[in-house]
Copies of this chain bind each other. A is one copy, B any other.
Amino acid sequence: MNYFSSNFKLGILGGGQLGKMLLYNTRKFDIYTSVLEASNEAPCKIACDEFHLGDLMDYDAVYNFGKQVDVLTIEIENVNIKALEALEKEGVKVYPASKTLRTIQNKATQKLFYIDNHLPTAPFSRFAYTSEIKEAINHGGLTMPFVWKCAQFGYDGTGVKIVKTIDDLEGLPNVECIAENLVPFKNELAVIVARNASGNVKTYPVVEMEFHPEANQVEYVICPARIPEAVAKKAEEVALKTSEAYNHVGLLAVEMFQTQNDDILINEVAPRPHNSGHQTIEASYTSQFEQHIRAILNLPLGRTDSKVGGVMVNLVGAEGYSGDVVYENIETIMNMDGVTPHIYGKKQTRPFRKMGHVTIVNEDLAEARKIAEAVKKTIKVISK
């Protein structure tokens, strides 16, 4: 299929920052793009050839949109899967496949998939309703502490809570959920696997993720992870096996825990470009966004090794500020060595909202990490 300067159309479900960064690469390759998105102020509003407003969870919206394109991809998992199934039957190439999304969209189903495929993951119990958890605790079938996770629609740290006492259950929505063993871990890691339709596979270097204790959001992403070679290899193997099990096309970001015993357990996956891969734009031979485009168009995959060390910090709305966004001290951080801010284009900030990220690259990873800390202390996402 001739993708370049032709009649080919690529559809993207979702118009947020991940889509925006995909569009850098469709522009680079002059690939015609159509975006479906609910908000008229989304980051993807410009730089795509067609921008359509619509609800991603609505069957008709997704189906009618998908009928217009040759290849359809996502930048967010919460999309109408039945519509994707219908489109697949009619010959639209959907990547990731509806089957993959169905498995991943529900955390309980996802965890069962790992068990069924002999992939390492923390033990868990599944509940139709959060209320059933109290009973399980009282009957001794479930011990605290554990990690409560809603089965559907959690994102960016929401829908996850560490439960140490019964009181911690207060206020949690009464929905389908899982209670997962609380695994004491050394590190949170991620590996992004790229796979094209022909089955060619490449993995990115293992990255390390440092989390904000309260908001449960990533603070630093460090590439490569500062872990022993043997552990990195294990993580890579688990990620590859996971990718094979899903038979996925495109990118698969596999988030894992490195336990105290240096075992690797899968936390969860995302079948699309991922926050842990943003540093690839400046640090890698091939950005994850370019790679995702290559993969879903069945083009050859690019190199995944790094040119230089990379650290990424997220720019999230500061607590106590809501309204028209101001990036305080952004000029100061732009004076720091190897620093590039990415501003997603959301006009309104609120506490913990993902407004952008900053990548720090350096031949010396320790230096990059130091500068990243200075960046974090300096720039503040506030409001007018």
Partner-B contacts on A (CB < 8 A) = 2, 4-5, 20, 23-24, 27-30, 46-49, 285-286, 290, 294, 299-300, 302-303, 307-308, 324-327, 330-331, 334-335, 337-345, 347, 361, 363
Please determine whether B303 and A30 come into contact, CB atoms closer than 8 angstroms.
no
- How near does chain B come to A97, taking the closest CB pair, in angstroms? 23
State the oligomeric state as a number of copies. Answer: 2
* Residue in contact with A331 in the complex, picked from B286, B300, B331, B344, CB distance below 8 Å: B300
Please determine whether B27 and A331 come into contact, CB atoms closer than 8 angstroms.
no
Please determine whether B47 and A27 come into contact, CB atoms closer than 8 angstroms.
yes
Given A27-B47, A285-B361, A342-B28, the answer on whether A5 and B347 have CB atoms closer than 8 Å is yes
Please determine whether B327 and A294 come into contact, CB atoms closer than 8 angstroms.
no
Q: List 16 A-B contacts (CB under 8 A).
A: A2-B326, A4-B327, A4-B330, A4-B343, A5-B326, A5-B345, A24-B24, A24-B28, A46-B46, A285-B338, A286-B340, A299-B334, A300-B331, A300-B335, A302-B334, A307-B308
Q: Which residues of B contact A299 (CB under 8 A)?
A: 331, 334
Q: Which residues of B contact A344 (CB under 8 A)?
A: 30
Please determine whether B5 and A325 come into contact, CB atoms closer than 8 angstroms.
yes
Q: Which residues of B contact A339 (CB under 8 A)?
A: 302
Please determine whether B4 and A290 come into contact, CB atoms closer than 8 angstroms.
no
Complex formed: what's the CA distance from A350 to B20 in Å? 32
Nearest 4 Cβ contacts at the A-B interface: A300-B335, A30-B343, A47-B47, A30-B345
Complex formed: what's the CA distance from A198 to B341 in Å? 21
Please determine whether B334 and A300 come into contact, CB atoms closer than 8 angstroms.
yes
Complex formed: what's the CA distance from A30 to B345 in Å? 5
* Residue in contact with A327 in the complex, picked from B5, B285, B308, B325, CB distance below 8 Å: B5
Please determine whether A307 and B361 come into contact, CB atoms closer than 8 angstroms.
yes
Please determine whether B20 and A343 come into contact, CB atoms closer than 8 angstroms.
no
A341 to B, closest residue via Cβ:
B29
- How near does chain B come to A23, taking the closest CB pair, in angstroms? 8
19 additional contacts (CB under 8 A) given A23-B47, A29-B342: A4-B327, A20-B27, A23-B27, A24-B27, A24-B28, A27-B46, A27-B47, A28-B342, A29-B341, A30-B344, A46-B49, A285-B361, A299-B331, A300-B331, A300-B334, A300-B335, A302-B340, A303-B338, A307-B308
Complex formed: what's the CA distance from A24 to B24 in Å? 6
Q: Which residues of B contact A308 (CB under 8 A)?
A: 307
- How near does chain B come to A260, taking the closest CB pair, in angstroms? 36
Please determine whether B337 and A303 come into contact, CB atoms closer than 8 angstroms.
yes
Q: Which residues of B contact A347 (CB under 8 A)?
A: 5
- How near does chain B come to A293, taking the closest CB pair, in angstroms? 11
